[in-house]
A and B are shown apart, each in its own frame.
Chain A
Amino acid sequence: MYPQLKRGEVVANREIAPGIFLLGVRGKFAASPGQFYMLRAWELDPPLFRPMSVFALEEEAISFLYEVRGRGTGILSRLSPGEELLLLGPLGRGWDPPARPLALVAGGTGIAPIHFAAQIYGGDAFLGFRGKPYLVESFADWCRAVYVASETGEGGTKGLVTEIFRPEGYRTCFACGPEGMLRELYRLCSEAGVPLFVSVEERMACGLGACLGCAILTSRGPRRVCADGPVFPAEELWGDG
Chain B
Amino acid sequence: MADLSVRIGEVALKNPVIAASGTFGFGAEYAPIFDPGILGGICSKGITREPREGNPPPRLWETPCGLLNSIGLENPGIEAFVREVLPRMLGLGTVVIVNIWGREPEEYVYMAERLDMTEAHVIELNLSCPNVPGAGLPGAVPEKVAAIVAAARAACGKPLWAKLPPEGDLIGAARAAAEAGASAVTVANTFRGMAIDIRSRRPVFSNVIGGLSGPAIKPLVLRAVYEVAKEVRVPVIGCGGIVGWEDAVEFIMAGAHAVQIGTGSFIDPLCIPKVIAGLGAFLEREGIGSLEEVRGCAH
Contacts and interface: CB of A to CB of B under 8 A. Distances in A.
- Do chains A and B stick together as partners? yes
Interface of A: 2-5, 44-49, 88, 202-206, 208-217, 221-222, 227
Given A45-B64, A48-B67, A204-B60, A211 B267 contact: no
Contact of B60 (A5, A203, A216): A203
B156 to A, nearest CB: 27
Contacts of A211: 22-23, 25, 60, 69, 71, 266
B22 A203 contact: no
B56 interface: yes
B45 interface: yes
A49 B174 CA distance: 35
A49 B263 CA distance: 12
Contacts of A221: 53
Given A203-B60, A205-B60, A214-B60, A47 B32 contact: no
Contact of B57 (A3, A205, A206, A216): A216
Given A203-B58, A221-B53, A212 B64 contact: no
B189 interface: no
Given A4-B32, A47-B66, A48-B67, A206 B59 contact: no
B32 A2 contact: yes
Interface of B: 22-25, 29-30, 32-33, 45, 53-54, 56-62, 64-67, 69, 71, 74, 214-215, 243, 263, 265-267, 269-270
A202 B58 contact: yes
Contacts of B25: 206, 208-211
A45 B32 contact: no
A212 B30 contact: no
Nearest to B69: A213
A233 B111 CA distance: 36
Given A211-B23, A213-B71, A222-B74, A47 B62 contact: yes
B98 to A, nearest CB: 16
A203 B71 CA distance: 12
B45 A88 contact: no
A206 B23 CA distance: 8
Contacts of A46: 62, 64
A44 B65 contact: yes
Nearest to B63: A47
A216 B55 CA distance: 9
A88 B60 CA distance: 19
B54 A215 contact: yes
Closest 8 A/B residue pairs (Cβ): A210-B25, A210-B29, A2-B32, A213-B60, A205-B266, A203-B60, A208-B29, A209-B29
A222 B54 contact: yes
A105 B70 CA distance: 33
Given A5-B270, A212-B22, 11 more contacts: A45-B64, A47-B66, A47-B214, A206-B23, A206-B265, A208-B30, A210-B24, A210-B265, A211-B22, A211-B60, A211-B266
A47 B65 contact: yes
Contacts of B29: 206, 208-210, 227
Nearest to A213: B60
A208 B59 contact: no
A205 to B, nearest CB: 4
Contacts of B62: 46-48, 203
Given A44-B243, A203-B60, A203-B61, A212 B54 contact: yes
16 contacts: A4-B32, A5-B270, A44-B267, A48-B60, A48-B266, A202-B58, A203-B58, A203-B59, A206-B25, A206-B265, A208-B29, A210-B24, A210-B265, A216-B56, A217-B53, A222-B53
Contacts of B214: 47
Given A44-B243, A211-B22, A5 B269 contact: yes
B58 A5 contact: no
Contact of A47 (B22, B24, B45, B263): B263
A5 B69 CA distance: 24
B23 A215 contact: no
B276 to A, nearest CB: 17
A137 to B, nearest CB: 36
A3 B263 CA distance: 19
B60 A217 contact: no
Contacts of B66: 47
